[in-house]
Structure 1
């Protein structure tokens, strides 16, 4: 029974870590509820508009700990500017089509200011709220609106401090997906060079482009994880894991660039439809071996190196062999082998990052 409960609890923790949206929803719900309660018990006129406090709480809790304070300040500044625009226009124009158009136009112009970051939309939202809902009580409405949003944002920031997101598991999964995609493409490319002859240009161009979103997702996930770690007390307990992911992201980013360049070169010079090819039967097997060694170096977990040898060293040796064969072929045939040399350079750059 105890083991069953343990496995069940472990599965729940694993699922929770894999889906940060769940913890975000809990944080947002808790912060919004607390902000609503504060708005209800606040003195008038704040208690007449309690629903604006949860708005501030949601703004603060939908971002990482490091960003929540900055975005809260940006959103409050945008709200105050929108309110000021509405008050200024309302003081010189009667309510109507012209006042609405002028308020929205000015607000949208200001919304693009860099100082507001991604919170610029609140300029127009606040301007419309104040213009339409604050008629006859402009100053009172603006004070309650801005004050409750500030209070709600403070509550949301506090919840983020107590329950800070870390996001290491999602970034780890994204890096694993990128690693698998790179290894698969290298293995398939090596197999094609061995068995299939010239590359199918359309197929391999499609496969090259298919790596772009996988790479982008991994980079974004690692960036979010790094941002979530700043100022996060939980990051101290997971510092080694965070550093390991940063290192892995650097290696896989360079590997993705290398694979992209390799496919581009091979599609251009070993693709179907060409009468002359860059590598030919002498160099293609050596390149295939180097690509498999590259895949092994990416595939192999560091913990297994002691048991199976150093895949990075094997990759380096295969590159030395490829370089020697290219040099020998150049001397024997008189061919320039510019493409083969470029492939060696691209692979060497990847090997250097793996060895660093």
Structure 2
């Protein structure tokens, strides 16, 4: 769970449309799918012991319609094999203990076939449940298990496609805008910190927000690619490259924040750059923030000029920066940020 505490995780889910909020929405959808599957199986179809219906519904709330439909086929296939395996073992093996061990062993082996995907484990689990519940020799109950699985999986897949379905192109654009804004805000905050006008208070929370949005952005890219399959609304024209480039900023940004925070907390003067050097770094961070927000090529050119000035400070023997470890620690990740923004 992201964040330092459960409260922070929940607060971030409501404040930032990132990984936490996506998890919260998917959890709510899976819960609703399980409850609906149970109600239909018990109140409408009046199936006895319909435990597989809510199970299947939960696992079919996936990130894309394609993934849900693929999962439906895999899960129904895996459960069908598990039912047949349990039926065969129940007919020829009189000992429940022996049948249970054999069904689990063979079922898990069969389930390891990659065609079953993540649903492969259901071959062994289904067989185990049927043997342990004593249903393996009752054809009517075996048929009920297949019906329950198909019902639950179908409800999960449909609910996932209808309730808050992934809006692939829109999600990609929104993720790009949110991540660019969050990165720019962190850079502005860091610029103030470098100049000595701010403390590190709140910077960790901002970085957690960026980390959450990076995770959401990576998912959005994957969903966009996968969501083109079976997407009746078309492929869309949204480009993935700008968002992928922003995601690539995460590691140098984290390194930069670590260097700045360490220098700000240090009581040793040689760890922190002098006032002029800090001003140059602050200007660079503000220019990087503007590039992240708007992609302004003029600001990117200014970033390169400021990097050149930092290089000059690092090799020029002045009283201010001769022993400044902090400036060198900040310069390297800042250079990587400029390079990756330039690659956009």
| Higher helix content, 1 or 2 | 1
The answer as to 2:335 corresponding to 1:350 is: no
Who is 1:262 aligned against? Answer: 256
- How far residue 79 of structure 1 moved from its aligned partner, in angstroms, is 1.0
- How far residue 105 of structure 1 moved from its aligned partner, in angstroms, is 5.6
316, 320, 328: which is aligned to 2:301?
316
Q: Deviations over 1:222-262 (max 9, x none)?
A: 433442333301134xx13xx24x23421320232331121
- Matches of 1:328 and 1:48 in 2, distance apart? 77
The answer as to 2:183 corresponding to 1:223 is: no
- Matches of 1:32 and 1:235 in 2, distance apart? 31
- How far residue 74 of structure 1 moved from its aligned partner, in angstroms, is 1.6
Who is 1:43 aligned against? Answer: none
- How far residue 218 of structure 1 moved from its aligned partner, in angstroms, is 3.0
Q: Tell me if the contact between 2:79 and 2:122 (Cα under 8 Å) persists in the aligned partners.
A: yes
The answer as to 2:311 corresponding to 1:326 is: yes
Alignment CA distance shift 1:177-1:157 (3 Å): closer
- Matches of 2:51 and 2:260 in 1, distance apart? 59
Alignment CA distance shift 1:56-1:205 (3 Å): closer
- How far residue 95 of structure 1 moved from its aligned partner, in angstroms, is 5.2
- Residue ranges of structure 1 left out of the alignment (5+ in a row): 1-17, 41-46, 301-309
Equivalences for residues 273-288 of structure 1 within 5 A: 273-277=267-271, 279-288=273-282
Who is 1:250 aligned against? Answer: 244
Q: Tell me if the contact between 2:37 and 2:54 (Cα under 8 Å) persists in the aligned partners.
A: yes
- Matches of 2:103 and 2:158 in 1, distance apart? 34
Q: Tell me if the contact between 1:297 and 1:311 (Cα under 8 Å) persists in the aligned partners.
A: yes
- Residue ranges of structure 2 left out of the alignment (5+ in a row): 1-21
The answer as to 2:118 corresponding to 1:118 is: yes
- How far residue 293 of structure 1 moved from its aligned partner, in angstroms, is 1.3
Who is 1:189 aligned against? Answer: 190
- Matches of 1:145 and 1:252 in 2, distance apart? 47
Q: Tell me if the contact between 2:33 and 2:54 (Cα under 8 Å) persists in the aligned partners.
A: no
SS in 2 for 1:235: coil
Q: Tell me if the contact between 2:266 and 2:272 (Cα under 8 Å) persists in the aligned partners.
A: no
SS in 2 for 1:323: helix
Q: Tell me if the contact between 1:278 and 1:339 (Cα under 8 Å) persists in the aligned partners.
A: no
SS in 1 for 2:248: helix
SS in 2 for 1:276: helix
- How far residue 314 of structure 1 moved from its aligned partner, in angstroms, is 1.2
Alignment CA distance shift 1:316-1:104 (3 Å): same
- Matches of 1:210 and 1:156 in 2, distance apart? 30
Equivalences for residues 1-356 of structure 1 within 5 A: 58=57, 62-63=61-62, 64-94=64-94, 96-97=96-97, 99-100=99-100, 103-104=103-104, 107=107, 111=111, 114-131=114-131, 132-137=133-138, 139=139, 141-142=141-142, 145-146=145-146, 149=149, 165-168=165-168, 169=170, 173-196=174-197, 208=207, 211-236=210-235, 239-240=236-237, 243-244=238-239, 246-268=240-262, 271-277=265-271, 279-300=273-294, 311-327=296-312, 330-333=315-318, 335=322, 338-339=328-329, 341-353=331-343, 356=344
- Matches of 1:320 and 1:103 in 2, distance apart? 69
Q: Deviations over 1:152-187 (max 9, x none)?
A: 767987898899934345555555443343222111
Q: Tell me if the contact between 2:300 and 2:342 (Cα under 8 Å) persists in the aligned partners.
A: no
Alignment CA distance shift 1:235-1:272 (3 Å): farther
The alignment of Structure 1 onto Structure 2 pairs a total of residues equal to 313
Who is 2:7 aligned against? Answer: none
- Matches of 1:174 and 1:295 in 2, distance apart? 17
